[in-house]
Amino acid sequence: VPIQGLNRGDTIASVKSALEKLINIYHEILLNEIAVMRSNTIVEEGRDIGGAIIYYNTAYPLQSVEPNASRGLDYLLLAYSAINGIRRIVCGYNVMKPIDPKPECRIENIRNEVVELLQLISDLSEEDVNKIYSSSLESLVAKLVITMIKHGLLYVVPLWAHDNLNIVAARKLYKLERRAFIGDAKSLQDLYSFILMVKLEKFFSEYGIDIDTLLSEFEKEISEELGLGRDGISVLGGIDKMLFKTFHGMLYRYASTASALPFTPATLESNVLPFMIEPPLPKSYLTYTQEMRRMWTLLDQELVEAMNTCINRIAQERNITESNKISEVFDVIKDILSEVQKKYPSLSYHQYTYLVKMFRACSDGHSVLAAITSPTGSGKTLIFLLYTLIKVLASKLLGLKSKAVVVYPRKALARDQLERIIELSDAVNRVLKRRGVGVELVIGIRDGDSLNIEREKPSNFYSLREIVVEREGKQYKLCHGISASRGYTVFLAEDSCWSSPVEELMWLRDVKVSRGEWRYLAQYDIVVTNHSILHRLANAVLIAKDFNEFRDVVGNTNIIVVDEAHVYTKENLEILAAALLKLLYTRAYIHKGSEPATAADFVAGLDFIVSSATLTDQHMISKGESKLFTGNIIGFFKIKTRCSEVSSLPPALRDFLSSILPEPVLSVYQSQGVVIHLDYDCAVLKDLGIEPESSSIIWRYPYRIRTALVVIPYPHRNSWTTLLEVLIALMHWINSARLRLENLYSGFSKLLALVFVDSRTTLEDLYRLIIRRYILEEQEQVDRVLLAKLYRYNLYTYLKENKLAERIQATLQIIGFISELAQQGAVSAYQLIYGLTDKARAVGDFNVVPLYLTLSDIAMLSRVTVKSYDDFFNALQSATYMRNVVSFIENVNRFAKEAIDKDYAKLLDELKQGSLNVSVLVHHGELKREERTVVESLMKGKLQPIPHIVMATSTLELGVDIEHIPVVVQYATEPLPVELVQRLGRSGRALESFYVSTLLLVLRNTGEDLTYLRDQEAVEYVYNFEVPRAASPYRHADVMLRYITKLYVDSCLSNRDKECYAEQRLLNFIKTIKSLGFISDTRDVEELFNQWLSKVKHFYLRLVESSLPTRPLDKVLVSVCEDLTKILKMFESERIALGAMRSEGLRDLSASNLEAAINAITREISVAANALCSSELQRYGNPQNALPYLRALSRALSATIDLLKQGKPHLEQAVSSLAGVMLGVYEYVHKLYAQYLQSVESVRTEGVQSVEVEDKIREYVEKDLHVFDTLIPGIVDDIGNTYINHILIKLKQGKASLELPDTTYEAFQRARPLHIKLSE
Amino acid sequence: LSQAGVKRLVSESFNCAHFKPDPRVFEASSEKHEKLVKFVRKWFEDLGKGIECVEEYELSLGGLRGRADVVCWDGKEVHIVEVKSTQVHRARMQDALQLMLYVYMYSKTKNTSLSSINAYLAYSYRESPYASAYIIRVGVEAEKTLINVVSRLVESYSSIRSGSFEGKGLYVISDLCDICVYDKCPFKALTGVTP
């Protein structure tokens, strides 16, 4: 039963709509709670700053306080928020002044809304139902609040923070004396409370609400609820001591005070950042009725007409005059539009206007530069895809060659995006088939995950990226593979890809081949790929003997789409820019048959479309040379009121475009007036039919909300500790939410949190820590207060003996601590749990129990006077959810025990089988694809149990569309703001996650993270307001050259014997881009290239000819390798013995641990032995390639020493042998390095002092600096020094190769310092 | 600031230059205002015997001029009241600043210690037969903070007016203000404000 109202036969739609309304009210409460937590004020006034509306602290700077997540709303503020939330959806309010009762709203309408809502969400008897029809609004509000508390959306808490804004208390300061209300405002806060009090009075009186009645009705209702008399709530300190927090506010509170023990805080403080309100996404408001918005559709005359003229124009330009043919094409297109309309019955104004503008430009004979920027999920794909499909198809039907390339920024294309592309292409091809046109639109997907058809055996069929295709309401699996009879095939199947095909989709391809790859691409009408493949294609084309070979791939490309543009940064941006430049150059060459002569040649007949979710945010708070001070801002509303028809490109977008296209090429589009960009924040208002006035915008729609909390670690604690403590509190929060909110809606029982840790090694360490230690503290957080007695002996069995003693000691301390507190004076269980006396504060700070307490529990606990620990324990035992808490803790512990030391794949298997029902999982790029799929399926709820927390590297940043993620945790400020926005965007996507995105940013207490202690920096970072300074490759000759010189190394150095024609090609290319002014660097790009070329030739030839002096060192390595073999044998016999024990069933836990340890050691040694003893390294020894293996050996050695310490004396021999080997390898590396560096340095500088070289070696080797790239003089840096270490080449059989074997790559990954990304 | 009165100084100090002054700060004197002033005056006079009150009490300090709505003396202490006849829900924190400028000016010109001056804000109560006003006494803690702010305001105002201005910049107290962050920002040199 997802919602109680369903019992009475309510439809799911009405229940969902009731929930949506409830969430609106919840949002209003949350926004005001954030304002109170942030600056002890509420959302009163907004000011339009152009890019958004900002809500600010009206009392600033006279009243300015530090953020405090323990603050909450008093009952008057809560009731105000709830009523205003209802008013917003019933009548709308002015977002510039939400507290203003204008525009009026009929009381009856508000009342009816509450009555309807109460019927659906509360457990009312028939008698109650009749009663609420005649209840006053004051009483209805009280009932609504209590219902929300019962469902776990709101919490009653005590006055934790003494400065908490408290209007209920402030009212008591005023007395009527001789016809004047007279009162003392002792502090400025009192004065502010007075101002707010009168504003609220005004607000309430407009709705016929009397404040005294409002308060007394609540007192009455809650006393009834608690089964207490009229003064029942006096046990809780009275209504002026009661505060309310939202369920999100509780997370903020507990993340801020996360700690495992009394007096040992893990967090110093936290900063509640301003909220960000965003309009709902089109996908939710497109369902609104005509009354709520104007509708636009694909078949609107204006759009269809523009398409028709576009088709005519294409025909006209290619001298096609048969009007029959042209109108036939138009008929097909209209048919396709009708088909697509079935799926997309209504377009947003944004989508519609883009399409009209783009097709109109086509009608005028122009190609366009379209920049589509709008939030994730707002329907960008439909815009560019429909335009692309129709234009490419029209050309094809007219017998012309035309191709589109859609480029994505990730190695593996996101499934959700592919699904949309396939869905639309499918619609197009079905129409073509139905009409018997005899033409298909061929779509080719190509990325690293494409099926390698050269390696595939026939009759092996696979799911095509888990994509599902719909046919007449039924869903089919999309499969592909090699069929014995038909070759490569894509088909739909019912259940599994082994069942017989339901339908073959000849128009779809998802393959890769090693030879003739580009010929494959030539067959596709639309290529969907990533920047790496594009880069490879561009390189292959640029140095092709004959450009014409690529006519069908590059020459006919008429549309290039760069989707998810904001993801390109640093190297990826450079790769994309270089690839595009090379492609546009060769495309122009093919068209002209000679060197392109103007910038316009590069983009003749080319539509260039960029699509992005976040390239517009940055300048929201910046105004020219200054920016808004964030200290007095409590929130943002992301809409634009001042919009002009002709919108100029936002600076961030302009920056991006001039980073991927040369300035003169951009100017070509600009001079033709075909740069199309619409401001989404304006378009939304148009869509909703809102006409803003200067001081009033009436809003009667839902919100989406983004919130963020910055958690600052305690200075002396490791920030890992802080993160893990926060995660423990978070697990309890998720668990309590699942428990309590499930009654409201089953969707809430799936809640899970996503945690991002950028470095995989850190992630793995943190994961191990949380499993080994912190999960056991999961128990402690509750246990040390509540259940110490219950779990003292039976849950520590896995812990090592010394740890066990330590914990029992700690537990006893807690018991003693509480007993002592109890004996010191009368203290209630309630006061202890909430930390309400000075002494009890220590208890209050380290437990998360209040998350699980219901109203009646609170009443019960407040009546229990604690005289001993046992009193306390017994009282807690009788709380409503304690049984569930106990079983949760047991389950978490069971999971932790299973997870420790278990192979991850096995653990996932076990989860799939359903033997565990709580989990914390990891997701990163090094997992196998199947493992990642299982984790994703668990997250989505396709498999059970849904994990409580998933910790990931950037792998879950994009393309994972899960509705039930309410929170994202980010550890450290590693990601760029645009990436962080993406991550935050994973949460709060749907009703299941309350339409609230919540970020917990846990800082490290070192380095750059300290910058974000400052509010201004943190706000700019989290909301992506930092004005980017993109380093455009076009502004740096050396950067652009990097992608050309590399090509020279690849193609010419590896074919030294042959004549390298690529050299001339590259020179021509450079001359052209130089002469057209594409590179805006003062340095001469051609001269730089020539300088580099001569150095490389000189250096490389000398280096190779002199052949590295490795010979005399071989002996060292030979003896090392012999030793390694012996050591491996030693461990092998140990393994055999352990294996034998296993088969005889003689093993205990320690034996299995030992085996796991020995396996790990053997693995490390084998990796090192394979690499070090290979003839390759010995012949072409590059010492840097040996360094990581030295690390591997060192790890093996320390693991062996560990075993030795644990009483395995027979390993002593192994230890000393390993140490010997390590010295040998070290010596080898050092000497090799010395000789190597010497020869390199002497070539480079021709005469450097050997002492200097010696110093350098010492620095590199002894400081353990890992310089991964081979030394070769690169290009010059900004001040004219020649770079070394610039290009990564490993010598392989005398040739330069840029490919690293997997083992080396893995070793590098492990050896690299933390927080350094090893880019591809 | 050439013809600055107290209200003008408050309004300009509370708003950055590029914001239009909020009309609510400039309160037109009206019948309603007068009525409320009379009520407040009577209310204070009724506190006890020997209390004397005047309306529109003129104050000036270093070229800064203003009129306090009601000033009363009871022999020992002074009561200064700023009367706001705008609807009470339009009350703002700036009102207290204006009041405190009068208090400061009174204290300086009459050489009276701040501890013997009581400051009040009076607002009209919504239409009701049983009450006419809110009268809020600004307490010591609040007064301290406010006096600190207004003394700086007056100082910087005076020094600008006399041409002897040498400070880093005007004190701008604003509920919404920009900060300069770029080196080239022309405002930066003037305000010395760094984030």
Contact A1165, A1196 (CB under 8 A): yes
B17 to chain A, any CB pair closer than 8 A? The answer is no
CA A851/CA A781 separation, integer angstroms:
12
Judge whether B16 is closer than 8 Å to chain A, CB to CB.
no
Question: A623 contacts in B (CB within 8 Å)?
Answer: 178
Chain B residues near residue A35 by CB distance under 8 angstroms: none
Residues of chain A contacting residue B191, judged by C-beta atoms under 8 Å apart: none
For residue A101, give the chain B residue with the closest CA. Answer: B89
User: Which chain A residue's Cα is nearest to B140?
Assistant: A186
Report the residue from A58, A191, A201 with minimal CB separation from B136. Answer: A191
What confidence tier does A432 reach under pLDDT thresholds 50, 70, 90? very high
CB contact, 8 Å: B125 with chain A? yes
Region of residue B62 (left: phi > 0; alpha: psi -120 to 50; beta: else): left
Residue that is written with structure tokens 């300074």 in the block: A1029
User: Of A520-529, A770-779, A880-889, A1077-1086, which has the strongest mean pLDDT?
Assistant: A520-529
B141 → closest Cβ in A174, A176, A186: A186
Decide if A820 contacts A812 (C-beta within 8 A). no
* CB contact set of A91 (below 8 Å; sequence gap of 6+): A103, A104, A105, A106, A109, A700
Any A CB within 8 A of B24 CB: no
Q: To the nearest whole angstrom, how far is the Cα of B71 from the nearest Cα of chain A?
A: 17
Mean pLDDT, residues A683-692 = 86
Closest CA in chain A for residue B180? A626
Q: List A970's β-bridge partners, or say none.
A: A756, A1001
Least confident of A197-211, A835-849, B105-119: A835-849
Chain B hits for A202, Cβ within 8 Å: 87-89, 126
Share of chain B above pLDDT 70, in %: 65
Q: Which residue of B has its CA nearest to A97?
A: B90
Q: Which chain A residue's Cα is nearest to B47? A: A178
Asked if B81 reaches chain A (Cβ–Cβ under 8 Å), the answer is no
Q: Is the pLDDT of residue A1272 over 60?
A: no
**What integer pLDDT is reported at residue B183 of this predicted model?**
47
> What distance in Å separates the CA atoms of residue A1309 and residue A1301, rounded to the nearest whole number?
12
Better-predicted residue by pLDDT, A929 or A538: A538
Alpha carbon of A75: minimum distance to chain B alpha carbons (Å)? 19
Higher pLDDT among residues A1285 and A830, named by residue: A830
CB contact under 8 A, A62 and B149: yes
What pLDDT sits at residue B194? 34
**Higher local confidence (pLDDT), A464 or A1271:** A464
Instruction: Tell me whether residues A186 and B135 touch, CB distance under 8 A.
Output: no
Helix H or strand E segment including A680:
helix A680-687
Across the interface, do B133 and A178 touch by the CB < 8 Å criterion?
Answer: no
Return phi, psi of residue B78, to 5°: -110, 140
Residue A1027 has pLDDT above 80, yes or no: no
**What's the burial of A1249, exposed, middle or buried (CB within 10 Å: 0-12/13-18/19+)?**
exposed
Q: Which residues pair with A707 in a beta bridge?
A: A998
DSSP secondary structure, A1178-1200, as one string: HHS--HHHHHHHHHHHHHHHHHH
CB contact under 8 A, A184 and B137: yes
Per-residue model confidence (pLDDT) at position A1277:
29
Least confident residue range of A27-31, A474-478, B133-137, B187-191: B187-191
Token digits of residue A742: 């499930």
Determine the Cα–Cα distance for residues B103 and A709; give it in Å rounded to an integer.
41
Contact B91 A198 (CB under 8 A): yes
For chain A, give the mean pLDDT.
Answer: 82
- Contact of A806 with A839, CB cutoff 8 Å: no
Instruction: Kindly report, residue by residue over A734-761, the tens digit of the pLDDT.
Output: 999 999 998 888 889 999 999 999 988 8
pLDDT higher than threshold 70 for residue A894:
yes
Min Cα–Cα distance to chain B from A634, Å: 11
Q: Which residues in chain B are closer than 8 Å to A58, comparing Cβ atoms?
A: 92-93, 175
Q: In angstroms, rounded to a whole number, what is the distance separating the alpha carbons of residues B70 and B59?
A: 12
ipTM of the complex, rounded to two decimals: 0.84
pLDDT at A1299 over 60: no
Query: What pLDDT, in 10s, does the model give residues A47-73?
Result: 888 788 999 888 877 777 889 999 999
Is the CB of residue B195 less than 8 Å away from at least one CB of chain A?
A: yes
Q: Would you state the pLDDT for residue A1196? A: 79
Positive or negative CA dihedral for A865, A867, A869, A875? Answer: negative
Per 3-state DSSP, what percentage of chain A is helix, strand, and coil (rounded to 5)?
Answer: 55, 15, 30
Phi and psi torsions of A945, nearest 5°? -85, 150
C-alpha distance from B186 to closest chain A C-alpha (Å)? 8
- Asked if the Cβ–Cβ distance from B130 to A180 is below 8 Å, we say no
Side-chain half-sphere exposure of A845, counting CA atoms within 13 A: 19
CA closest to B171 among chain A residues:
A61
Specify the 3-state DSSP secondary structure of A1048: helix
Q: Whole-model pTM?
A: 0.81
Share of chain A above pLDDT 70, in %: 82
CB-based contact B138 A185, cutoff 8 Å = yes
SS3 sequence, A326-363?
HHHHHHHHHHHHHHHHHHCCCECHHHHHHHHHHHHHHH
B172 CB near a chain A CB, below 8 Å? no
Tens digit of each residue's pLDDT (9 = 90 or more) over A152-189: 999 999 999 989 999 999 999 999 999 999 999 999 99
**String of DSSP letters for A281-305:** PHHHHTTS-TTTS--B-TT-HHHHH
The closest CB to that of A1016, out of B97, B139, B195, belongs to: B195
pLDDT over 60 (residue A1303): no
What is the mean pLDDT of the segment spanning A1023-1030? 72
Identify the pLDDT of residue A1240: 55
Is the separation of the CB atoms in B13 and B104 below 8 Å? no
In this predicted model, what pLDDT tens digit does every residue of A18-52 receive, in sequence order?
899 999 999 999 999 999 999 999 999 888 887 88
Contact A272, A189 (CB under 8 A): no
Q: Which of A371-380, A542-551, A1160-1169, A1188-1197 has the lowest mean pLDDT?
A: A1188-1197
Q: Which pLDDT score is estimated for A623?
A: 67
A182/B123 CB distance under 8 A: no
Residues 33-62 of B with CB under 8 A from A: 39-40, 43, 46
For residue A245, give the 3-state DSSP assignment: strand
Judge: B145–A62 Cβ closer than 8 Å, yes or no. Answer: yes
Asked if A626 and B146 come within 8 Å (Cβ–Cβ), the reply is no
Q: Coil, strand or helix: which one is A276?
A: strand
Closest-approach residue (CA) in chain B for A59 = B93
- Closest CB to B176 among A181, A191, A632: A632
Rounded Cα gap, residues A1257 and A1234, in angstroms: 6
* Closest CA relative to residue B91, chosen from B127, B52, B133, B58: B133
What is the average pLDDT across A1109-1131?
72
Query: Which two tokens mark A495?
Result: 């259940």
A191/B125 CB distance under 8 A:
no
Provide the pLDDT for residue A1054. 53
Q: Does the CA dihedral A619-A622-A628-A631 come out positive or negative?
A: positive
pLDDT for the residue numbered A265: 79
Q: State the average pLDDT over residues A72-94.
A: 96
pLDDT at position A681 is: 87
Q: B53: distance to nearest CA of chain A, Å?
A: 18
Confidence of residue A232 (pLDDT cuts 50, 70, 90): low
d(CA A624, CA A638): 19
Predicted local distance difference test score (pLDDT) of residue B174 = 44
Task: Give the residue with greater pLDDT, A322 vs A842.
Answer: A322
Range with the poorest average pLDDT among A480-494, A672-686, A1205-1219, A1288-1302 = A1288-1302
Contact A198 B89 (CB under 8 A): yes
- Chain A positions touching B39 (Cβ under 8 A) are 179-180
What is the nearest CA distance from A202 to chain B, expressed in angstroms? 7
Q: Quick one: pLDDT at residue A588?
A: 96
